Amino acid sequence: MFSYRIILLSLLCLWLSTKGGNSTSPLFRYCFNHENYTDPSPYATNLNQLFNLLYTKVPPHGFGLASTGQPQDQVNGLALCRGDVNTTSCMSCVNEASKKLLERCPYKKGAIIWYDYCLLKYSNENFFGEIDEKNKFYMVNVYDVEGDAASFNGKVSELLSNLSYKASESSVLYASGELKFDDEEEGSKTVYGLAQCTGDLVGSSCKKCLDDAVAEIPDCCDGKQGGRVVGGSCYVRYELYPIVESS
């Protein structure tokens, strides 16, 4: 099971790295609950109502969660926009995400989708406050870093570990930053990073989620110019160019 998961993540990683994408195309999605609902049904109505709620609740703050319907047909969901993304872009991302989930995970009782600007997740189970260990993928910048790769990996790890701490201590569970350093062969370089958790996590869970993600960077992105470990509750990313609007 474990090795199967690693192989799956590696394949995914290769596929995503060749796929490219932009802020309006989804990075990835999982239809993680294969149980079907029918339409029309209370579940379909509640899901639609949930999407409408998230669309109004999320964009001004960048995060929101909601539950709709009675216990037997309840739908729980959340959406998160990247910390630097403005209300307008957040709104269009959440809107696009809810449409795309219905299209890509039709009639599924639980699903999640990620974009550069946002993520959206819903489930018949109440998952709020728990770290999502199941839904995760890697993305990697295809280019190898030039110069001393081992030293570069160390810088990436230092930057992302600090951002993990900073994010978990911040009220919005988000941090971005950069680290300038000198490579003996290549001269001065700057690596940019970001770390963010969904707002339903407490600080200590956020820290754990991010630290686990940082620990997986060597698995996906050893010696690469950029990479991401993206989960349902948190994600980290680094690149040799600025990632966010203002860091």
Residue ranges binding ligand NAG (CB under 6 A): 22, 24-25, 34-36, 86, 88-89, 158-159, 162, 179, 245
Q: Contact 111/122 with Cβ under 8 angstroms? A: yes
Closer to ligand NAG by Cβ: residue 67 or 157: 157
Closer to ligand NAG by Cβ: residue 10 or 203: 203
Neighbours of 226 (CB within 10 A): 22
The three-class DSSP label of residue 92 is helix
Q: Helices 2-19 and 203-221, interaxial angle, to 10°?
A: 80
**Beta carbon of residue 191, minimum distance to ligand NAG (angstroms, whole number):** 9
How far apart CA 223 and CA 217 sit, in angstroms, is 10
Closer to ligand NAG by Cβ: residue 36 or 129: 36
Closer to ligand NAG by Cβ: residue 81 or 206: 81
The three-class DSSP label of residue 199 is coil
Closer to ligand NAG by Cβ: residue 95 or 162: 162
**Beta carbon of residue 85, minimum distance to ligand NAG (angstroms, whole number):** 7
Length of the chain equals 247
Query: What are the residues whose beta carbons fall under 8 Å from the beta carbon of 183, sequence distance 6 or more?
Result: 147, 148, 151, 152, 189
**Beta carbon of residue 89, minimum distance to ligand NAG (angstroms, whole number):** 4
**Beta carbon of residue 25, minimum distance to ligand NAG (angstroms, whole number):** 4
The three-class DSSP label of residue 154 is helix
**Beta carbon of residue 34, minimum distance to ligand NAG (angstroms, whole number):** 5
- The answer to whether the bond into 40 is cis (omega within 30° of 0) is yes
